[in-house]
Structure 1
Amino acid sequence: MPTPETSPIRELDVRPMLQAGEEPFQAIMEAVSALAPGESLRLVAPFRPVPLFSVMANRGFAAQDRALDSGDWEVVFSPVDDVQIEAGLTAGSSPSAAFWAEPVQELDLIELEPPEPMVRILEALEGLQPGDVLFALLAREPVFLFPELAKRQHEWAGNFDASGTAYRLLVRHGGGRAHG
């Protein structure tokens, strides 16, 4: 596994965006999508971007952060070995999913058009207790749902069925606890 010191690093400074009143999340996700295999992302921000840590962990990146002398923060997101890909799960799936309880609720959302599946999943999660698991069947991989789940501190694991026509998603209610 490459370490942050040995892997190539792409840099993104979001301070100018934030100073201009812009939301940098999309630019960060675009930078991550543009990374080559094994490449890391060095992010510079005016604060420690804690919510981004779980988003990036779900995408297979470990975070190393440090405060800069200026009061700003530097975070290097480096790719980690993805054993869950070998297990057939989508990159970013929680490695602990194999140990979760059986789902307490199941949703068949395969006939719905976006954003309705995401809305229904988030609504259903509001009614669940910490640790409860939700299962959803979708027509496509819910890529826009993953950052929303991370913001709410929920974990997820998913993959396509054998035919490749349905995406199976498990979501574990995080209970609003921060993951460290």
Structure 2
Amino acid sequence: MTAPPLPSPAAPPRLDVRPMLAEGIDPYDSVLALAEAIAEGGALEIDAPFNPTPLRRVMARHGFSSRAARLATDWWRVRFVRDGAADWAAEAETTLLPEGAMRWQEEDGIHLDVRRLSPPEPLRLILGLIDSLGPTGGPVVVHHDRDPLFLPAELAERGWRIVRVAPAPADLRLWLEPERR
């Protein structure tokens, strides 16, 4: 009888956070705990339902470069390498706002992550971004952790609307764009 093959020493540890998010559990602390055990030059991989750009920014502050690959519609794999974040600057366009929110650009528009902020900060930041873009800006993708009750009325006053909502545990996404008249 042959023994099962041992895992390759080159295979980095992998954490699939999709089930955690589906249960409404924030995987942030689990990811950081795993990252603490990674030695210089080592790597780890995270499977997520979206490109976790804010997490990638946080990991860069902990000395990790990252590369993300979309494997399916709702499946991204991010490989983090502890190398002092040597190549992070080439990909990082994420801005950490003073309030703790994050802003970055992707193919589908400007992303604004207001999760973990207490009201009224999310509304204030969203409206500030909308006001800065004006009636011809957009689209904007907002990452929120709850339904922003007052946002639709405030958007309507500014000539904007929510065109799509993607509910997911720990990441409610709202696509905003100006009304086209």
**Superposition TM-score, scaled by structure 1 size:** 0.41
Tell me which of the two structures has the higher relative contact order, counting C-alpha pairs closer than 8 angstroms and 6 or more residues apart. 1
Structure with higher Rg: it is 2
More strand as a share of residues: 2
